[in-house]
Amino acid sequence: MVLLLWVGRVPEWSNGADCKSAIRGFESHPDLSFLKQDHGQAIRGPFLPSPSGWTLNAAAADMQPTSPNASPGMLAVRTAALDLYESLYPKGGSRVAAYAPGRVNIIGEHIDYTGGFVMPMAIGRGTVCVASLGEGGVARVASAQTPGNVVEFSLAGLSPGVVTGWGAYIAGVVKGCLDQRPLPPGLNLSFASDLPVGAGLSSSAALEVSAALAVDAILGVDRPRVDVARLCRRAERDYAGVPCGIMDQYIACMAEAEHALFIDCVSEQHRLVRIPPEVTFVIADSGKRHELTAGEYADRRASCERALDAIRKARDPYRHLRHCTFADLGVPGIDPVDRKRARHSIGECARVLAAEQAFGSRRWAQAGDLMRQSHASLRDDYEVSCDELNTLADRLNAMPGVHGARLTGAGFGGCVVALVHESLAAEIAEELRSSGASPMVVVSRPAGAATVLPG
């Protein structure tokens, strides 16, 4: 069956109403009948009790777990970060550690920064930051991924451009954590991760969120998780130069095990999407790395903004592309390339709405169709795929037990995510490994959110 995409306007929503009111003009079409079902779950507001499971004491010098949930992978990464810390910094004194997961985006690509909907989940790989107070008014930052390279910068006068390279992400986070607060005597930070850089699994957001939680903890700050996500997004935009949306930082902060999140990137609220045990996800690395600051990301965001401006002038002052229809793309004044970019954004919003319903009703064939459609749109209209990603997605889509596969993340390289039948996941992963089709294959269920650990 081929799913026809709804192209009607999506209203603003932030009060828990389901999205069926957005499906206008297509209610009678049998292929879209499943969109009429109630979601049955209210929107989760952003100001919720912290999901970390840890209680901060007054001095933030000791972290007391209330419900430890450390996986073997998390513990191994924590050990690597601690080993690095102890090899570089003075022993003794109080220290804390924080873990933030990577993520895979099931569907909803390149639309978090155009006011769309996304459906990511956290994965069982991530980054650990170990932090303590330092001295000399400087931050010293080291990573197990770049041994021997300690980045140092003054805590006073931090601004974009002062720190370059991967340390710029940390500088932006530290600046946000210290904003309108007395400067500490210094900071010592060490990082370790089992997330490959440039694979589209949000290693940058895991780096940022783990740093933010660790620095806040050592300073005695208990910041609402949605504010942590916003702080980290600002750091990536202002200090690393990536005009990203909220998705990556939000899922790292707000994820819940066994669930994806359906996130409204305008209201910055979410609903849980349960992932039943009969399906899981295979994440396969194409082996090609991407670099978001190379310009392609910013170019595509600018294309969508130009298309929306043209529609606003010709028809209606819509706030976001998700409020537009494909018919709106026929207005004069839209560059052909900009039209393609906007067509992806409008269609992808509809696919995410449909995917949430498909997952909720366990219609795996439909969910897989939507993932394949998303890949085709990213390949042909948004033009962020590459030969390596296309070959890997095509191979997965042809394998028994795979409902659908698509590139995940910003594209230009990185990973493909496949929705697969749980009973065949190990076999699928092993075939990809043994054939050399992918240098890294991970089978993952949805994991939990970032957390503070004992230092």
d(CA 366, CA 315): 33
Phi-psi region of 108 (alpha: psi -120 to 50; beta: other; left: phi over 0): left
Name the 3-class secondary structure at 279: strand
* Secondary structure letter of residue 278 according to DSSP: T
- The C-alpha atoms of residue 230 and residue 253 are separated, in whole angstroms, by 10
CB 348, CB 109: distance < 8 Å: yes
Active-site annotation holder among 194, 216, 248, 338: 248
| 3-state secondary structure (DSSP) of residue 115 | coil
For the chain, give the number of residues: 455
Q: Based on the residue annotation, tell me whether 248 is a catalytic residue of this protein.
A: yes
Helix, strand, coil in percent for the chain, rounding step 5: 40, 20, 40
Residue reference for tokens 């209330």? 66
CA 403/CA 142 separation, integer angstroms: 41
Distance, CA of 395 to CA of 399 (rounded, Å):
7
The answer to whether 416 and 409 have CB atoms below 8 angstroms apart is no
Between CA 202 and CA 204 the distance in angstroms is 5
Is 24:32 a contact under the CB 8 Å cutoff? no
Paired with 119 in beta bridges are 107
**Active site residues per annotation:** 248
